[in-house]
Chain A
Amino acid sequence: MITLNVNGDQHDLDVTDDTPILWALRDVVGLTGTKFGCGMSLCGACTVHLDGKPIRSCVTPVSAATGKEITTIEGIGASELGKRVQDAWIEQEVVQCGYCQSGQIMSAVALLKENASPSDQDIDNAMSGNICRCATYARIRSAIKLAAGQPVAKEA
């Protein structure tokens, strides 16, 4: 039995220690906002925060989360920064299919937590691990800047 603390709630789970957090969240806890994309830490769709730091939940076992706080897309809006980023995403009309956006937002919030005013290079460094097949990258960049209070270029 493993105890996971997710968005402030305790969950006792009957899974093996090596179970990736991703599948514990999706199939056992029942929080499906965190997405499966590759299973190999290649796409970032499964990004969650472990004690505030972004991790790829598809390759991080539940044993690594013992005694730590997991935050998922379902919980990130409870923080002022998380809400600001979600609002910026809507304002910049980022989403298309939307499947990767949980992971994108989790990576973006983690970036802004560490760096309140990221440069384009900082954004590239933090976000290039998150694949978006709809290629919403320019809008993700704009939304991060908007959430950071930086000027955002207007569409032509």
Chain B
Amino acid sequence: MHMLPETQTAETARGDVSRRDFLKLSSGLGIGLLLEFSLLGTACSKLGIGGKQEFTPNAFIHIDQDGVVTIVAHKVEMGQGTYTSMPMLIAEELEVDVSKVKLQHAPPDDKAYGDALLGAQITGGSTSVRGAWKPLREAGARARMMLIQVAADEWKVRPETCYAENGEVVHQPTGRRVPYGDLVEKASRLPAPSAVTLKDPKDFKIIGKPVHRLDAPSKVNGTAEFGIDVKVPDMKIATVSASPVFGGKLVSVDDSEAKKIQGFQQVIKLDNAVAVIADHMWAAKQSLAALKITWDDGEHAGFSSASLREDIAKASEAKGAVAKNTGNAPGVIASADKKLEAVYELPFLAHATMEPINCTVHVQDDGCDIWVGTQVPVVAQMVAAQLTGLAQDKVRIHNHLLGGGFGRRLEVDSVAQAVSIAKQVNFPVKVVWTREEDIQHDMYRPYYYDHISAAIDEHGNPQAWQHHITGSSIMARFFPAAVKDGVDPDAVEGATDLQYAVPNVYVDYVRHEPPLPTAFWRGVGPTHNIFVVESFIDELAAKAGKDPVEYRLALLKNAPRAKAVLELAAEKANWSSPLAAPAKGKAGKGVSVLFAFGTYIAQVVEVEVDADQQVRVKKVVCVVDCGYTVNPDTVRAQMEGGIMFGITGALWGEINFEQGRVQESNFHNYRMMRMNEAPVVEVHLVPSQENPGGIGEPGTSAVMPAVANAVFAATGKRVRKLPIAKALTTT
């Protein structure tokens, strides 16, 4: 397989009448999302296809007369393996060799390419396999049935006597074979079957078997094209400096020194930013540094991490919107003899994708082209249409591989900025942020302030559980309709579906907005709440004087899948045997259990804490039950990577403000885990026939409390305010 190069993709999208009209038609139908394949197939097959024959039974599959199968990727590849798992789902039912299919980025189209769970063309929230599990297999199966029908008609035999195999239809009794390419012309005139039968999982040949990543070859030889790699004729390069304080405005720019730099082209002024356009990035960077810029810092000039924290703590005194209320937790806690309460705090976090933020735009009178790697192509298209005054269909999004997403590329602030810059010139311009700009003008994971309390019975078990969450509502900005009665479902996810058997549970939420926008970060809601819940359950176990695993297992009596992963993790990690004491410092093991994104995980983490309070995570044992696995090695890879992403955040991650300005700027002060610091990660998959769960994010969410619990086991210090490294060295 290879990704079609961008030019070819663009040509296909523009030059192929059938496909363009098909998309127009499909978006006009307005029926459901991914359930309209048969209608789409019918609509498409009725269109005349001038000269060139192609079978496009639905939005995801094209087969040409040479038998070349092209699969349209409705999800973007940001490392999570979706460009392999999505084709696997289709290829399984279509009966083609997955290593030979071509892949094409989908154009923006919510109707044709919307996620079944999210209701829009978004890649995020660990939804790809969960959402596409059935629809993509059905897409493949319908196409296969149509191809078989054509072959059977030709041979004048019953379709039931034929089967498909490796891109061919075979007539079983006679052994006659015909390749798909020869069936394309007639298949394209058939109506799609309304009913479809999917394979019995026991007959799967591709799903559940390890398949080499289809995007790997281009990523090891430098030919993979990320958004930042786009080359467009006559393109110039721009780099940007936005107001150092969010909400500040540009007052004036003196470019007299910048003009002397070789390669300098021009300065572009925006309300809240300055860009320099140059022949190449070096000239742009130097020119930007040579500008004398005057800012009006605006109303947020004074804020600091200390003031933000004071504000959120005060906001937390309010009563919240009720997200969950079983029994009478507040009453039971108020009258309890024995209780425990704690405040947990989680910092602002930057995403720091390895590919710095970038976007290439060419605005012309009759249209706008945007080359970018985005998790939200339709939103990018809408924003560009608004800014340019063009109709939405005049904005062409050329999506690319993402050099990391983690939620950062769910946002289109940088797309809007690049369009605003490109509007002022008559050539294509690639806007590239420096790493400093990327860290200091990220949209951060919110600061959370959680007050949690429990009433404890005579056995040390929680009788009542009250979790009071205060923080920014990302959903209120990103998808306001999701916020109901004041409850942001993301902000409370992982808190409301407590797996532990507690008779009285009360979870409420206070929305408190800092003076800057916030965004999703790998693991979204659960990354925050699972840390609080799994840390606090550990506190309860300690207070009861019980083993953290035994304590949890007893409370998981009604959650068999959660209990099973915990039992297996304890066994695989030799939980009950103590760690050998390290030469210097102390060692400890910590545990966590997660249910989120439809997936169950238990992790056991081993840490060492040296005399200088430096924490080293030595080993992580991770047991995953994510239902049916499409590509098992991808599940392992996502666990390994997600776990280290979470450890990085838990140990070191925080964004601080002074005088309204972000203090961190690059990898020297926004620390990333490196190879010499990476723990051994052992992943065990629980075989399961359940529907697939998400895998991109739960590993991150689960590991953060396990590390903190291991630090407690080693040192006796309970970390209630992340990051751990700071908590251990400052108090």
Contact of A131 among B223, B405, B640, B672 (CB under 8 A): B672
Q: Is A15 touching B678 in the complex (CB atoms < 8 A)?
A: no
CB distance from A73 to the nearest CB of B (A): 4
Interface string of B376-410 (1 = CB under 8 A from A): 00000000000000000000000001111110000
If A96-B80, A139-B637, A156-B683 touch, whether A133 touches B352 (CB-CB below 8 Å) is yes
Instruction: Give the chain A neighbours of B680 by CB distance below 8 A.
Output: 138
Residues of B contacting A152 with CB < 8 Å? none
Q: What is the CA–CA distance of A36 and B403 in the complex, to the nearest angstrom? A: 11
Q: With contacts A43-B667, A133-B354, A155-B636 known, is A36 near B432, CB below 8 A?
A: yes
Does B262 count as interface, using CB distance less than 8 angstroms? yes
Chain B 259-281 interface mask (CB, 8 Å, partner A; 1/0): 00011000000000000000111
Closest to A34 in B: B222
> Contact flags (1/0) for A41-81 with B, using CB distance below 8 Å?
01101000000000000000000000000001110010000
CB contacts (< 8 Å) of B225 on chain A: these are 32
Given known pairs A20-B282, A35-B403, the reply for A90 and B354 (CB within 8 Å) is no
Q: Within 8 Å CB of A129, what residues of B?
A: 674
Contact of A130 among B224, B228, B643, B675 (CB under 8 A): B675
A135 & B644 in contact (Cβ 8 Å cutoff): yes
Q: With an 8 A cutoff between CB atoms, is B182 at the interface?
A: no
Counting CB contacts under 8 A, is B15 at the interface?
A: no
Q: Which of A117-143 contact B (CB under 8 A)?
A: 123-125, 127-141
Q: From known contacts A98-B403, A99-B404, infer whether A27 and B281 are also in contact, taking CB-CB under 8 Å.
A: yes
What does the 1/0 interface line of B137-169 toward A look like (CB < 8 Å)? 000000000000000000000000000000000
Contact with A along B217-234 (1 / 0, CB 8 A): 111111111101101000
Check B637 against A36 for contact (C-beta < 8 Å).
Answer: no
**Is A124 touching B676 in the complex (CB atoms < 8 A)?**
yes
Which B residues touch A132, using CB under 8 A? Answer: 354, 675
Most buried by B among A39, A72, A89: A39
Q: What A residues does B231 contact at CB under 8 A? A: 30, 32
A37-B356, A93-B213 known; A155 and B683 CB under 8 Å?
Answer: yes
A94-132 toward B: CB 8 Å interface, digit per residue (1/0)? 111111111001000000000000000001110111111
Hey, which chain B residues are within 8 Å of A133, CB to CB? 352-354, 404, 406, 645, 672
The verdict on A28 contacting chain B, using a C-beta distance below 8 Å, is: yes
Contact B667 A74 (CB under 8 A): no
Are B666 and A135 within 8 A (Cβ)? no
In contact, B668 and A95 (Cβ under 8 angstroms): no
Could you tell me the distance in whole angstroms from the C-beta of B328 to the nearest C-beta in chain A? Answer: 44
Given the interface contacts A30-B231, A74-B221, A155-B683, does A95 sit within 8 Å of B216 by beta carbon? yes
Query: Which residues of B from 346 to 387 have beta carbons under 8 Å from A?
Result: 352-356
Judged by a CB distance under 8 angstroms, whether B549 is at the interface is no
Chain A interface category by residue count = 35 or more
**CB < 8 Å neighbour of A124 from B81, B224, B675:** B675
Tell me which of A27, A89, A134, A135 contacts B216 (CB under 8 A): A89
Interface presence of B212 (CB below 8 A): yes
| B313 on the A face (CB < 8 A) | no
Cα–Cα distance between A73 and B222 once the two chains are bound (Å): 6
Contacts of A127 in B (CB 8 A): 675
B610 within 8 A of A: no
With CB as the reference atom, state the residue of chain A lying closest to B432: A36
Residues of A near B645 (CB, < 8 A) are 133-135
> Taking the complex as formed, is A31 at the interface, i.e. its CB lies under 8 A from any CB of chain B?
yes
Within 8 A of A (CB), among B235-293: 237, 262-263, 279-282, 285
Is B682's CB within 8 Å of the partner chain A? yes
Chain B residues lying within 8 Å of A137, measured Cβ to Cβ, are 644, 673-675, 678
Q: Which of B222, B432, B641 is A135 in contact with, Cβ under 8 Å?
A: B641
Q: Which residues of B contact A38 (CB under 8 A)?
A: 435, 666-667
Residues of B within 8 A of A141 (CB): 675
Tell me if A11 is interfacial: C-beta within 8 Å of chain B.
no
Contact with A along B192-232 (1 / 0, CB 8 A): 00000000000000000000110111111111111011010
* Closest B residue to A103 using CB positions: B354
Q: How far is the CB of A115 from chain B (nearest CB, A)?
A: 16
CB contacts (< 8 Å) of B402 on chain A: these are 97
Q: Is the pair A131, B354 in contact by a Cβ cutoff of 8 Å? A: yes
Specify which chain B residues have a CB less than 8 angstroms from the CB of A86 in the assembled complex.
Answer: 220-221
A131 to chain B, nearest CB (A): 5
Q: How far is the CA of A89 from the CA of B262 in the complex (A)?
A: 40
Main secondary structure of the interface of A (DSSP, over half): loop
Contact of B633 with A by CB under 8 A: yes
Q: Is B78 an interface residue (CB 8 A)?
A: yes
A97 to chain B, nearest CB (A): 3
Q: Are A134 and B404 in contact (CB under 8 A)?
A: yes
A85's closest neighbor in chain B, by CB?
Answer: B220
Task: Name the residue in A39, A86, A97 with the highest tally of chain B Cβ atoms < 10 Å from its Cβ.
Answer: A97
Interface check B663, CB cutoff 8 A: no
* Interface pair A128/B674, CB less than 8 Å apart: yes
Tell me whether A19 and B675 are in contact (CB under 8 A): no
A93-B212, A136-B637 known; A15-B666 Cβ under 8 A: no
- Bound CA–CA A15/B262 (angstroms): 8
CB distance from B66 to the nearest CB of A (A): 26
Complex: chain A residue closest to B223, CB-CB: A33
**Nearest CB of chain B from residue A52's CB, rounded to whole Å:** 18
Which residues, 628 to 682 on B, are CB-close (under 8 Å) to A?
633, 636-637, 640-641, 643-645, 648, 666-668, 672-678, 680-682
- Is B517 engaged at the interface, CB distance under 8 Å to the other chain? no
Counting CB contacts under 8 A, is B434 at the interface?
A: yes
CA distance A90 to B217 in the complex (A): 7
Give every chain A residue within 8 A of B572 (Cβ-Cβ): 156
Question: A96–B641 contact, CB under 8 A?
Answer: yes
Which residues of the partner chain B approach A94 to less than 8 Å between Cβ atoms?
A: 216, 220
CA distance A34 to B222 in the complex (A): 7
For residue A88, which residue of chain B has the nearest CB? Answer: B220
Q: Mark B603-624, 1 if CB is under 8 A from A, else 0.
A: 0000000000000000000000
**Assembly CA distance A140 to B640 (angstroms):** 12
How far does the alpha carbon of A23 sit from the alpha carbon of B683 in the complex, in Å?
40
Report the bound CA distance from A101 to B224 in whole Å: 11
- Which one of B213, B279, B666 lies within 8 Å of A42 (CB-CB)? B666
Residues of A within 8 A of B80 (CB): 96
Q: State whether A138 touches B678 (Cβ < 8 A).
A: yes
Q: A23-B282, A73-B222, A99-B226 are in contact. Are A135 and B215 (CB under 8 A)?
A: no
- Distance (Å) between the CB of A87 and the closest chain B CB? 8
B489, CB-defined interface residue at 8 Å: no
User: A134 contacts which chain B residues (CB < 8 A)?
Assistant: 79, 354, 404, 641, 645
- A37 near B222: Cβ-Cβ < 8 Å: no
Q: List 10 additional A-B contacts (Cβ < 8 Å) besides A20-B282, A24-B280, A99-B353.
A: A15-B282, A24-B282, A30-B231, A73-B222, A95-B216, A100-B403, A102-B222, A124-B676, A134-B404, A155-B636
Would you give 26 A-B contacts (Cβ < 8 Å), ordered by A?
A16-B262, A23-B281, A28-B279, A32-B228, A33-B221, A36-B432, A37-B354, A45-B354, A73-B221, A74-B222, A90-B217, A90-B220, A95-B216, A97-B79, A97-B405, A101-B219, A129-B674, A131-B667, A133-B354, A134-B354, A135-B640, A135-B644, A135-B678, A137-B675, A155-B636, A156-B683
For the complex of A and B, list the 4 residue pairs with the smallest distance between their C-beta atoms, beginning with the closest.
A33-B222, A99-B403, A98-B219, A97-B79
